[in-house]
Homo-oligomer: A and B are copies of this chain.
């Protein structure tokens, strides 16, 4: 997987909602109604991570969840990270 250029990264970010660049990763924060809703979301993210074999950094406290994607093997962001971001954003 080819590391994306800064221009490609910003093009991808423009297509997404609320994902921010953080170092060599993309990050988004969510706030749910309660802990159960947060855990439901986390499990749906886990299903996607298994399906695409690409795993986020995940942070949770009560109703808050943060996800970060980066492609460590490529030393930066790749198409895989933005594919995952798009799939995560489809979760209802």
Hey, which bits of chain A sit against chain B, CB under 8 A? Answer: 35-36, 39, 42-43, 46, 49-50, 55-62
Residues of B within 8 Å of A49, CB to CB, are 35
C-alpha spacing A42/B59, complex, angstroms: 12
Closest B residue to A39 using CB positions? B46
Smallest beta-carbon distance A91→chain B, Å: 16
CB pairs A–B below 8 angstroms (20 shown): A35-B46, A35-B49, A35-B50, A35-B55, A36-B50, A39-B43, A39-B46, A42-B42, A43-B43, A55-B61, A55-B62, A56-B61, A57-B59, A57-B60, A57-B61, A58-B58, A58-B59, A58-B60, A58-B61, A59-B59
